[in-house]
Chain A
Amino acid sequence: MARVLINLPTRARRGEIIEIKTLIAHPMETGYRLDSTGNAIARDIINRFVCNYNGEEVFRAELFPAIAANPFIAFWTIAVGSGELAFSWTDDHGQTQSEIRQITVE
């Protein structure tokens, strides 16, 4: 389980547009680096990031090797109601890591 930092308000007014910042620990190996013997180190990156708000997808990102290590993604969403924000990161091996945060919207 990679370390994750997610920043979003725990409370918001209905209709408020809130900023969500996410950071996940991952080397994002490009596939272009060479090891000490001159062989290419295999590509191994997080290639997809999805945010679901109470089950509905509100943001999606497709990532390529040009994304810096320890990917940082900040985006916005409308606080439509109280509930759960689910974040998932999927890597080249098809493994997904998910994190859930609660939000109260009044």
Chain B
Amino acid sequence: MKGLVLLMLVVAAMTTARAQTAPTERRSGYDFASPETRAMQDDDTANPGMLWVLQGETLWATKAGTADRSCADCHGDARTSMKGVAARYPAFDIALGHPIDLEQRINQCRAERQRAEPLAWESVDLLSLTAFVAHQSRGESIAAHTDSQLRPFSTLGKELFHRREGQLDLSCSQCHDDNWGKRLGGSVIPQGHPTGYPLYRLEWQSLGSLQRRLRNCVIGVRAEPYEYGAPENVALELYLMERARGMVIETPAVRP
């Protein structure tokens, strides 16, 4: 009888732990960073992430592949054509039957329209192009999902976000929904909103993608990370964007 009560208490504790951050309480990682880190982000002439945006601007106009086309040849001025795009990615790809993120979309254009080799994950060129495109959405609000085809994938993402895993047996939600604002080691735990990606992470000494950060987190709880481009990573990105709907894009952000 005592064992059954204990089991019921444990089950109750596990189900109530499925908390979510209320929309009014949502804050960007910017709010949790130190004044010095924020100052680095605020000044475009001192933000290291802008070095990749600058490179992306050059690549945008550079012809590539056997089709000898640049992004600009089809998309023109990115400031107009790419405005708002990052705010609604990952997006559903009808031909593939599942959502793809911005990096995958860029590589898809490279392969199909430019007939060029896809760019490797976390390569300078892919990061630069992604940063440049996402930067055109800076100041835009992350769009709410209206495409019902995305529903099963964001549900998977939500499930993954709440699933306990790894040797530390922690879920993303336990830190980023239940304990944001508190400290883990010397660092403040943010809410985990993808408002500034790709971003310059001081720990990486480089710009990096959201998938790189997600893999870091999974390694952090001592679980096996999903491969770059894996459907689980894209599902998580999708869920995170939905969780952050309405929040403003800051790309390129600077974070510790």
Contact = CB atoms under 8 A, between A and B. Distances in A.
A–B contact (CB under 8 angstroms): yes
Contacts of B55: 3, 25
Interface in A1-31: 3-7, 21, 23-25, 27
Given A5-B50, A5-B54, A23-B51, A69 B45 contact: no
- Interface magnitude class on chain A: 10 to 19
A5 B205 contact: no
B12 to A, nearest CB: 45
Contact of A72 (B48, B54, B205, B206): B48
A53 B55 CA distance: 27
A27 B50 CA distance: 15
Interface in A76-91: none
Contacts of A6: 45
B54 A27 contact: no
B7 interface: no
Contact of A3 (B45, B54, B206): B54
A7 B51 contact: no
B46 A23 contact: yes
Contacts of B206: 27, 69
A42 interface: no
25 contacts: A3-B54, A3-B55, A5-B45, A5-B51, A5-B54, A6-B45, A7-B45, A21-B43, A21-B45, A23-B48, A23-B50, A24-B51, A25-B51, A25-B55, A27-B205, A27-B206, A69-B48, A69-B205, A69-B206, A70-B48, A70-B51, A70-B205, A72-B46, A72-B48, A74-B46
Interface of A: 3-7, 21, 23-25, 27, 68-70, 72, 74
Nearest 9 A-B pairs (CB), nearest first? A7-B45, A69-B205, A70-B48, A25-B51, A3-B51, A21-B45, A3-B54, A3-B55, A5-B45
